[in-house]
Amino acid sequence: MVLKTTGEIELMDEANRIVHQVLNGITELIVPGVTTAELDSFAEDYIRGAGGVPAFLNYRGFPATLCTSINDVIVHGIPDQTPLEKGDIVGVDCGVLYKGYYGDAARTYAVGEVSSQAKQLMDVTRESLDLAIREIEPGKRLSDIGHAVQSHVEKFGFSVVREFVGHGIGVALHEDPQVPNFGQPGRGPVLETGMVLAIEPMVNAGEPGVKVDADGWTARTTDGALSAHFEFSVAVTENGQKVLGRSQAAA
Ligand code: MG
Ligand code: MG
């Protein structure tokens, strides 16, 4: 597990600011009729204009800048020409490489008015991310993070995906340790100042299972139920935690 200096964390804050500026731009662009390919093209242009490099493009062969995951797609959906429809929910995950350091964050957006279940799923997933972030401070244990996510989400009858997890991040997009969104508290490595973790609850409205499409990427719920995803990159600091890119992130 690689600890980062204050200067490195500042660079990662900059990388994450670009990510959140992209996600803010997408808030304005998400309307019925827009295609995920159009969102992707906006994101790539914005990132390159800011002096960054899209981190997901060509990562293990992934063909786009964004992952766009509609309705029952959990994560890793590939942008395409299908227009979004009123009532859809869309997870948008964005990664940026900037001055040698990675930023990574995700939000789930409503397309127009969505069902009360979809709204609740998004709210609960976002809340679980906030509760997880509150667990981050020196001396806490890694599994305290996942426990906070799981215990919140399951109160509402939703389920946490097991197959995909959060991760360390820095000079690589995925560093050790893995950060599961489930588990008992008080287990695993002790959190230390200088660790940077991408915390990313993936929450299904129904069963926790995952199936991957023939494209090798698109991960869906096995029961066809909705899924939501939010992510922040978070540094462990002396005083607690710093959410990277926070100055640009929506509340
Ligand atoms: Mg991500
Ligand atoms: Mg991530």
The tens place of each residue's pLDDT in the chain, 251 residues long, gives: 889 999 999 999 999 999 999 999 999 999 999 999 999 999 999 999 999 999 999 999 999 999 999 999 999 999 999 999 999 999 999 999 999 999 999 999 999 999 999 999 999 999 999 999 999 999 999 999 999 999 999 999 999 999 999 999 999 999 999 999 999 999 999 999 999 999 999 999 999 999 999 999 999 999 999 999 999 999 999 999 999 998 887 65
Of the listed ligands, the closest to the CA of 96 is 1
Q: Look up residue 108 and give its two tokens.
A: 């789930």
- Give the span between the Cα atoms of 108 and 91, in whole angstroms: 4
Of the listed ligands, the closest to the CA of 179 is 2
> In angstroms, what is the span from residue 10 Cα to ligand 2's centroid?
19
Instruction: Convert the pLDDT of each residue in 227-245 to its tens digit.
Output: 999 999 999 999 999 999 9
Domain covering 6-242: architecture: Alpha-Beta Complex (3.90)
> In angstroms, what is the span from residue 92 Cα to ligand 1's centroid?
8
- Give the span between the Cα atoms of 50 and 178, in whole angstroms: 29
> In angstroms, what is the span from residue 126 Cα to ligand 1's centroid?
14
Q: What is the pLDDT of residue 250?
A: 64
φ and ψ at residue 152, rounded to 5 degrees? -70, -50
Q: What is the pLDDT of residue 16?
A: 98
> In angstroms, what is the span from residue 34 Cα to ligand 2's centroid?
25
> In angstroms, what is the span from residue 139 Cα to ligand 2's centroid?
23
> In angstroms, what is the span from residue 105 Cα to ligand 2's centroid?
6
> In angstroms, what is the span from residue 139 Cα to ligand 1's centroid?
26
71: left (phi over 0), alpha (psi -120 to 50) or beta: left
Of the listed ligands, the closest to the CA of 76 is 1
> In angstroms, what is the span from residue 94 Cα to ligand 1's centroid?
6
SS3 20: helix
SS3 94: strand
Q: What is the pTM of this model?
A: 0.97
> In angstroms, what is the span from residue 40 Cα to ligand 1's centroid?
14
β-partners of residue 220 are 73, 211
205: left (phi over 0), alpha (psi -120 to 50) or beta: alpha
Q: Look up residue 187 and give its two tokens.
A: 């287990």
State the DSSP code for 35: B
> In angstroms, what is the span from residue 107 Cα to ligand 1's centroid?
9
- Give the span between the Cα atoms of 133 and 193, in whole angstroms: 14
> In angstroms, what is the span from residue 96 Cα to ligand 1's centroid?
10
> In angstroms, what is the span from residue 172 Cα to ligand 1's centroid?
13
> In angstroms, what is the span from residue 95 Cα to ligand 1's centroid?
6
Of the listed ligands, the closest to the CA of 166 is 2
> In angstroms, what is the span from residue 198 Cα to ligand 2's centroid?
5
The residues near 21 (Cβ < 8 Å, ≥ 6 apart) are: 46, 50, 248
> In angstroms, what is the span from residue 117 Cα to ligand 1's centroid?
24
> In angstroms, what is the span from residue 174 Cα to ligand 1's centroid?
10
- Give the span between the Cα atoms of 103 and 123, in whole angstroms: 23
